[in-house]
Amino acid sequence: MNPCELVTLISSLSCAISKTFSAEEISILAAVFTQLGDSLATILAAGELGGRKDED
């Protein structure tokens, strides 16, 4: 999947979610996905800093 296709997919999912869930549910989902992205970025950065790809 190229970057433009990925952006289109994410935008389409956002629209579908906004039509399906309440404002309160969307707020929770937004927070969950933000935390997920931040946690993944932290794991990658820590792995690069420590010179490891993954940790057991």
Q: Rounded to the nearest 5 degrees, what angle is found at the Cα of 20, between the Cα atoms of 22 and 10? A: 110
> Which pLDDT tens digit goes with each residue over 21-54?
999 999 999 999 999 999 999 999 999 888 765 5
Tell me the whole-structure pTM to 2 decimals: 0.72
**How many angstroms from the chain centroid is the CA of residue 27?**
14
Q: What is the pLDDT of residue 50?
A: 84
H or E element, residue 19: helix 3-20
Residue 41, token pair as written in the block: 């970025």
Distance CA 8, CA 51 (A): 34
